[in-house]
Amino acid sequence: MSTPAWRVFAKYYYPFITRHGADDVALLNLGYEEDPPMAIPLSETDEPHRYCIQLYHRTATQADIAGKKVLEVSCGHGGGASYLMRTLNPAAYTGLDLNPAGIEVCRKTHQLPGLDFVQGDAENLPFPDNSFDAVVNIEASHCYPSVPRFLAEVARVLRPGGHLLYADVRHSDHIAQWESELADAPLRMLSKEIINEQVVRGLERACRARSTCSLAGPRRCFVGWSAAP
């Protein structure tokens, strides 16, 4: 992942999913489950997306976003944004995505006070400096042409003391480069966790409920949260 070929694939894959599966695919991450299970209470509408929602919950609860102004970069179809807005009570939540068709789905499907969606580029965020208390980014930065540019933009739009709440996946061949990019970012790493087992467990349980699938090849999943300097 995070190779030129993968980025070309992602450029066309996600709009395809929007055109042909937006009604069924509210969240686009691989999923997450702990042992013992997290068992967070979910509504009947959210329950079919439990494992994807749990990755959002696990990542976003590493900082208190209640009453805060939050940006999600690469919000997909908006299911994670809707869940966090309804359960963690930020003052305002903006979801941004490069895919204009996805943003149309978000605006049509997730209409909540304080929640809005904009089309934009993760490497050129259309917001002034010091705009947000937290930035959420879930399994998306592997699609970006330049992760360092994305991280620099996050640091720019975060207010002092703000947090990047971040989870992503890389093939084992690209982990060293990824770790170097994170180390060089204009952000201070507060904590990180390797969550391979939890992601595979979530993916397997979600697939059992729907269809057969697998996470082929050696990959490493990571959840971390950083603060702006």
SS3 at position 136? strand
**Tens digit of pLDDT for each residue in 43-98?**
999 999 999 999 999 999 999 999 999 999 999 999 999 999 999 999 999 999 99
**Which amino acid appears at position 103 of this protein?**
I
Work out the number of other CB atoms within 10 angstroms of the CB of residue 88: 20
Direct distance between the N- and C-terminal alpha carbons of the chain, in angstroms, rounded to an integer: 29
- Which DSSP category does 120 fall into? -
Q: What is the pLDDT of residue 218?
A: 53
Of the listed ranges 114-118, 137-141, 209-213, the one predicted with least confidence: 209-213
Identify the pLDDT of residue 2. 46
Per-residue pLDDT tens digits for 140-150: 999 999 999 99
Class (C level, CATH) for 4-227: alpha beta
Instruction: For residue 121, give the DSSP letter.
Output: B
